[in-house]
Amino acid sequence: MWFGGWLPVIDQLSFIPSAVWFLGKMTVFILIYVWLRGSLPRLRYDALMNLGWKRLLPTAIAVLFVVAVIDTIKTEPAKVVVQAEPGGPAGPGIGGPR
């Protein structure tokens, strides 16, 4: 489980059996789930699709671009070292003294 499963919350409470910890944590999460599910309004299908396509997707794309721009700005450019090859364009005979 994400919250430690059968492990105690505090080490001083390790005398409580592991099964009690697991069932207690599971009960707490089920109660929280039922409480939230019962108290929050249920979205209609068209409202949920409207939220996803018109709000969440454009927001995610905007965040993606913002993060890409920030990453591009913070990243230092690579240092390119160009070495001339002998006899190449920067080699002897081209642009040299006459």
pLDDT digits (tens, 9 = 90+) for 45-62: 999 899 999 999 999 999
- Report the pLDDT value the prediction gives residue 19, as an integer from 0 to 100: 92
Considering just the CA atoms, what is the radius of gyration of the chain in Å?
A: 31
List Cα–Cα distances, 58 to 10, 40, 85, in angstroms.
43, 25, 50
Is the overall model pTM greater than 0.95, yes or no? no
Residue with tokens 């671009």: 65
